[in-house]
Amino acid sequence: MSPRARGRLLAHPADAACVLFHVLVLALYLVAFWTWAHREALGIAPGAESVAYALGAALLLGWCSGIEVGVNFHNHAHRRVFRSALLNRWFSRTWTVSAGWPAWFWQYSHVTVHHRHLLESEDWTLPRRRPDGQWENFFVYCLAHWPWRYAVHLWRELRPPLASQAVARRARRELAIFLALFSIPFWIDPVAALWLWVLPAWLANVLVVGPGMHAQHAGREAPGPHHTYRHSNVFRSRLFNLLMFNIGYHAEHHTYPWVHWSELPELHESIAEELERDGAHIVPFGYYRAGYLLSRAALGADGRRAEWSRGLRPIAEVEA
Amino acid sequence: MLHRHPALETVARCGLPLAMLAVLVLVPVIGGYGVLVCAVVLWKASGVWL
C-alpha cells in the first residue's frame, strides 16, 4: 500500500500493521480449515494424527485471536484505525469474532468498565479480590472470566434499568451480528468448527487475554492523588513490544489512553524520570514471561505463590 | 533500524501470524504431529523470549 493510499484510508500510517495482522489471522483460519478439509490428501492420517493437527492448529489460531482482541482490536477501541466510520464498524465486527467476542461488548468492557474503574471494585474485568485484599488464584481468573463472568455482567449492564433503551437495542443488534458471524463455520463443517473455531476462542481467552489482563495490573494500586503510574506494570521487552503493538507500555497507556500505540515508546522515554520518581514498576520482559511466572507461582511450583497472589512483590523481584 | 523502514516494521510486527502461517503451509512436509510440535515449541519459546 502506497503512503498516499494509507493516508486516505488509515487514521495513522502505523495502523497498516494492525490491518495486515488481522488479514493474516483471517488467512490463518482459512488455511487451517482448508487443510482440515483436505487432510487426507495432504498426508494427515485419520485418528491420532488428525487430532494432533487440530490441537496444534487450535493453539496457533487461539494465540493469534487472543492478540487480535486483547491487543490489536484494543488499539482500535481507543483510536479508530480507519477514516471511514462504516469501515471501522464492520472491520471491528470481524476483528473480535474469532476470539468469541462481539466487538462492541469488548469495547464496553474495556473502555467503559476497565479504564474508567481501573482496579476499583467496579472493575469486573480484573481478578476478584478476596476479603483479605488478595487477588484470586491466577487459574481461577483465567478459566472463569470468559465467557462466564463477562456474560453475567454484560447481561446486567446492557439491559434496562441499568442501560437505556437505545444502548439495549444496540447490544441486541451487535449480539445478533456476532452470532450470525460466529455460526458460519458450523454451517460449513460442525466438527471442524469445534476444533478450529470454538477451541481457539476458548484458548484465546484462557491462554492469552486472561494472563495478559492479570499481568498488566498484578500487585498494583488503584489510581489515586499520590501517584500517577502505579496502577499498571510496564513491560519493556523490545521484541515483545515489537510483536504486540507496544502494549507493554501499560502504565503510559492507562494514564494517556489517547496516545497512539506507535508513539508509546517515545512517550515512555520522555517521562522516564517521572516514572522512576512515581515508583512505576518496570520489568525487562513481556506478558508471556509474566504469564509463565504467574502460572508457576499459582501452582506453588517455586514457592512464590504468596507473593504473586497477594500482589505484594513486584515482578522484577519474583523474576530474580 | 526498523524504525527507519516503515514497511519493514509493518511486516515485522506481523511476525507471529506469519510464522504460524508458515507452520500450516508446511503441513505436507511436517504432518499433523509436526503442527502440534511447532505450536507447543513456539508457545514455550514465548514464555522465555516474550
Q: Do B50 and A49 touch (CB under 8 A)?
A: no
As a whole number of angstroms, the distance between CA B32 and CA A177 comes to: 34
pLDDT of amino acid A309: 45
Helices H / strands E in chain B, number of each? 3, 0
> In this predicted model, what pLDDT tens digit does every residue of A155-206 receive, in sequence order?
999 999 999 999 999 999 999 999 999 999 999 999 999 999 999 999 999 9
In the 8-state DSSP scheme, what is residue A163?
A: S
Contacts of B17 in chain A (CB under 8 A): 21, 24-25, 27-28, 64
B27/A56 Cβ within 8 A: no
- Contact yes or no for A243 and B13 at CB 8 A: yes
Task: Determine whether A85 is exposed, middle or buried from the number of CB atoms within 10 Å of its CB (0-12, 13-18, 19+).
Answer: exposed
Map residue B19 onto helix, strand or coil.
helix
Q: Does B33 touch chain A (CB under 8 A)?
A: yes
Chain A interface includes B38 (CB < 8 A): yes
Residue B27 has pLDDT above 80, yes or no: yes
Q: What ipTM was assigned to the predicted interfaces of this complex?
A: 0.95
Residue pair A25/A65 in contact by the 8 Å Cβ criterion: yes
Q: Which residues of B touch A14 (CB under 8 A)?
A: 6, 10
- Cβ contact B14–A13 (<8 Å): no
Q: Could you tell me the three cell numbers for A302?
A: 517455586
Please report the pLDDT score of residue A312 as a whole number: 40
A118-144 pLDDT, tens digit per residue, is: 999 999 999 999 888 889 999 999 999
Region A283-294 average pLDDT:
92
Compute the 3-state secondary structure of chain A and give helix, strand, coil in percent, each to the nearest 5: 70, 5, 30
Q: What is the pLDDT of residues A240-274, one digit of tens each?
A: 999 999 999 999 999 999 999 999 999 999 999 99
Whole-angstrom Cα distance, residue A70 to residue A90?
18
pTM reported for the whole predicted model: 0.92
Whether the predicted pLDDT of A106 surpasses 70: yes
Q: Which residue has the higher pLDDT, A308 or A86?
A: A86
Q: For residue A51, which residues of chain B lie inside 8 Å, CB to CB?
A: 32
Q: Using one digit for the tens of pLDDT, what is the confidence trace for A12-66?
A: 999 999 999 999 999 999 999 999 999 999 999 999 999 999 999 999 999 999 9
Name the residue among A179, A145, A149 with its Cα closest to residue A66: A145
Q: Output the CA angle A286-A291-A296, nearest 5 degrees.
A: 130
Quick check: A291 and B49 CB within 8 A?
no
Mean of the per-residue pLDDT values of chain A: 92
Q: List the single residue in A14, A21, A61 with the smallest CB-CB distance to B14.
A: A21
According to the model, what pLDDT value does residue A5 have? 65
Cβ atoms of A17 and B10 closer than 8 Å: yes
CA distances A276 to A226, A259, A317, B30, Å, are 14, 20, 16, 49
Q: Are A110 and A153 in contact (CB under 8 A)?
A: no
Contact B21 A237 (CB under 8 A): no
As a whole number of angstroms, the distance between CA A160 and CA A149 comes to 19
